């Protein structure tokens, strides 16, 4: 068995009223903190209402999400929804599912290909303030290494594949997942336990989190 010391960050307490949340979301979407570093300019992408039961902490929006303002509106989103066994209507129901990337804006591409990492300013600036409102969340999905590093700090410096293997250790609060891009297909074939063991448990956990969530 691999070492699985979670080091989980606790959730914050909730402020009073949803009006404060609406003001916060407006402030997030007006953020220009990293404007000079963003090749397509700022367009923060974040979803959810304080009633959400499922929170998805992802990496950063791609070009399609930047254009549409809709997280996971691409093939990786189709794959993620298949993993979760959720239809689009449920996945995009902000009263039930919140999506909070580590970086809210598209960060641009590396010269050698692939997207740049999420901007480092974003999560420290906004995440705790948003989490203070997401107190109905029953399950948080940590998608990819950047989400794991922030919310499971004792896993920093360890291979993501090792953390994924230890997925049971982070329940019931967290479920760790790889990014659902096409690049993960080879990893899935090399790790059949993911489809055989982790995905059925993930779907049960998602159903439980969303139960009576309307």
User: Which helix (DSSP H) or strand (DSSP E) does residue 57 occupy?
Assistant: strand 54-57
Query: What is the structure's pLDDT at 54?
Result: 98
3 inside domain: no
Tell me if 194 sits within 8 A of 100, measured CB to CB: no
Quote the number of domains for the chain.
Answer: 1
Place of tokens 């659902």: 180
Distance CA 102, CA 23 (A): 20
SS3 115: strand
Query: What is the structure's pLDDT at 8?
Result: 47
SS3 177: strand
- What number of other Cβ atoms are within 10 A of residue 120's Cβ? 12
The burial of 182, by beta-carbon neighbours within 10 Å (0-12 exposed, 13-18 middle, 19 or more buried), is given as: exposed
What residues contact residue 145 under an 8 Å CB cut-off, 6+ apart?
160
What's the pLDDT tens digit per position in 105-117?
999 887 776 788 9
What's the pLDDT tens digit per position in 145-174?
999 999 999 898 899 999 999 999 999 999
Tell me if 143 sits within 8 A of 58, measured CB to CB: yes
Assign residue 187 the CATH number of its domain.
3.40.470.10
1 inside domain: no
Structural domain harbouring 66: 19-210
Query: What is the structure's pLDDT at 12?
Result: 43
Distance CA 113, CA 133 (A): 37
181 inside domain: yes
122 inside domain: yes
SS3 145: helix
In terms of Cα–Cα distance, which of 168, 137, 140 is closest to 6? Answer: 168
131 inside domain: yes
9 inside domain: no
Query: What is the structure's pLDDT at 115?
Result: 81
Going residue by residue through the chain, which has 214 residues, state the pLDDT in tens, using 9 for 90 and above: 344 544 444 444 444 456 999 999 999 999 999 999 999 999 999 999 999 999 999 999 988 888 888 999 999 999 999 999 999 999 999 999 999 999 999 998 877 767 889 999 999 999 999 999 999 999 999 999 999 999 999 898 899 999 999 999 999 999 999 999 888 989 999 999 999 999 999 999 999 999 974 4
Query: What is the structure's pLDDT at 18?
Result: 63
CA angle 160, 99, 62 (to 5 degrees): 70
- Backbone phi, then psi, for 27, in 5-degree steps? -65, -40
14 inside domain: no
Positive or negative, the CA dihedral 78, 47, 42, 141 is negative
């Amino acid at each position: 068995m691999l070492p699985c010391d979670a080091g989980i960050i606790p959730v914050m307490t909730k402020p009073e009223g949803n009006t404060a949340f609406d003001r916060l979301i407006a402030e997030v979407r007006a953020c220009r903190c990293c404007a000079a570093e963003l090749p397509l300019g700022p367009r923060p992408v974040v979803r959810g209402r304080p009633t959400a039961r499922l929170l998805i902490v992802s990496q950063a929006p791609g070009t399609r999400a930047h254009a549409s303002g809709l997280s996971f509106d691409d093939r990786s989103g189709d794959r993620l929804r298949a993993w979760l066994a959720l239809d689009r209507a449920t996945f995009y129901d902000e009263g039930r599912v919140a999506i909070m990337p580590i970086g809210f804006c598209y960060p641009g591409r590396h010269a050698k290909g692939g997207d740049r990492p999420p901007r480092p300013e974003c999560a420290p600036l906004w995440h705790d303030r948003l989490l203070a409102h997401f107190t109905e969340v029953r399950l948080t999905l940590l998608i990819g290494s950047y989400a794991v590093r922030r919310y499971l700090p004792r896993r920093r410096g360890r291979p993501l594949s090792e953390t994924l293997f230890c997925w049971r250790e982070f329940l019931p609060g967290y479920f760790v997942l790889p990014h659902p891009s096409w690049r993960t297909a080879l990893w899935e074939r090399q790790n059949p336990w993911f489809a055989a063991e982790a995905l059925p448990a993930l779907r049960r956990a998602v159903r439980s989190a969303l139960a009576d969530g309307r």
